[in-house]
Amino acid sequence: MRAVAGLLVGTVVGITGVGGGALMTPLLVLMFGIAPQTAVGTDLLYASITKMFGVAVHHNHGTVDWGIVRRLAMGSLPAAAATLAWMHFSEAHQVKTGFIITAVAVALVITALGMVMKDWLHRVGRSLRVTDESYFKHLQQPVTVLAGVVLGVLVTLTSIGAGALGTVMLVYLYPIRLTPSKLVGTDLAHAIPLALIAGLGHLTLGNVNYSLLLNLLMGSIPGVLLGSFISTRAPLRFIRYAIAIVLGAVAVKMFTV
């Protein structure tokens, strides 16, 4: 059953670059009864491994902008390390309910809203890019690094955001430079080092279930390969709105846990 969950989530990740933590972490908590901190830590390592296979496909198709990946990583990786240090010294990782569940629920709401507003943000970003090109491009790099900081903190705490919020931020910041397929590939490529560092940090905190990790990977690796192949050919808007609705419903459920 857990391998099937990995297959389904892996396929969604490969198609959209979205859904790893946003779908898997609540699934593990609500359906399989996994402790929230273990669900977050295990999902982060699962995501880092799974997305490597998706990025390989996108890299072969030339749909990864490595310059943007580096800018995001400049903010996200130090932020992830700092968040892990805070969790260690404050012992926030030992909270089994309350803090982590609330953080996950809030992250799901933000993610769902971001996915719904994605097209509008893309239009706003494109308009600003065209009407005031020099000012927009001047702010692109520092704002991209700042976006990375936000993602680093959110992903480390909840395992949510690297895919969903990452793509929303990128469509606004790079409305012309990134095509839909490059958007997915670039976001996936950035998610790998972020999820890996955050996941290894959770590993040192004892928040990883190895048996669960192996079960998820059995299904997710073929799923993400299939999804990445589909993503270069399929329209993504319908899938994105469907995921946003699901995330909103799951967030409501998480708030009541």
Q: What is the pLDDT of residues 16-63, one digit of tens each?
A: 555 566 777 887 888 778 888 888 999 898 878 877 766 777 777 788
Q: Give the mean pLDDT of 164-184.
A: 87
Asked if pLDDT for residue 88 goes beyond 60, the answer is: yes
**Distance in angstroms (rounded) separating the CA atoms of residues 14 and 51:** 8
Asked if pLDDT for residue 156 goes beyond 80, the answer is: yes
**Distance in angstroms (rounded) separating the CA atoms of residues 136 and 71:** 16
Q: Which domain range does residue 58 map to?
A: 2-255
Query: Which residue has better confidence, 199 or 118?
Result: 199
77: its two tokens = 């990786």
Count of domains for the chain: 1
**Surface-to-core class of residue 237, CB atoms within 10 Å of its CB (0-12 exposed, 13-18 middle, 19+ buried):** exposed
**Distance in angstroms (rounded) separating the CA atoms of residues 29 and 36:** 6
Asked if pLDDT for residue 82 goes beyond 60, the answer is: yes
**Are 198 and 84 spatial neighbours (Cβ–Cβ below 8 Å)?**
yes
**Distance in angstroms (rounded) separating the CA atoms of residues 164 and 144:** 15
Query: Which residue has better confidence, 73 or 2?
Result: 73
Look at the block and give the residue holding tokens 């095509």.
179
**Share of residues in the chain with pLDDT > 90 (%):** 25
**Are 39 and 216 spatial neighbours (Cβ–Cβ below 8 Å)?**
no
**Distance in angstroms (rounded) separating the CA atoms of residues 217 and 124:** 38
End-to-end CA distance of the chain: 23
Asked if pLDDT for residue 8 goes beyond 90, the answer is: no
Q: Give the mean pLDDT of 239-255.
A: 75
174: its two tokens = 């790079």
pLDDT band at 76 (very low <50, low <70, confident <90, very high): very high
Residue 224 confidence (pLDDT): 65
Measured in whole angstroms, the distance separating CA 136 from the mean position of its chain's CA atoms is: 25
SS3 33: coil
Torsion of CA 59, 63, 68, 70, to 10 degrees: 0
Cα–Cα nearest to 196, from 71, 87, 44, 78: 44
Return the DSSP state at 76.
H
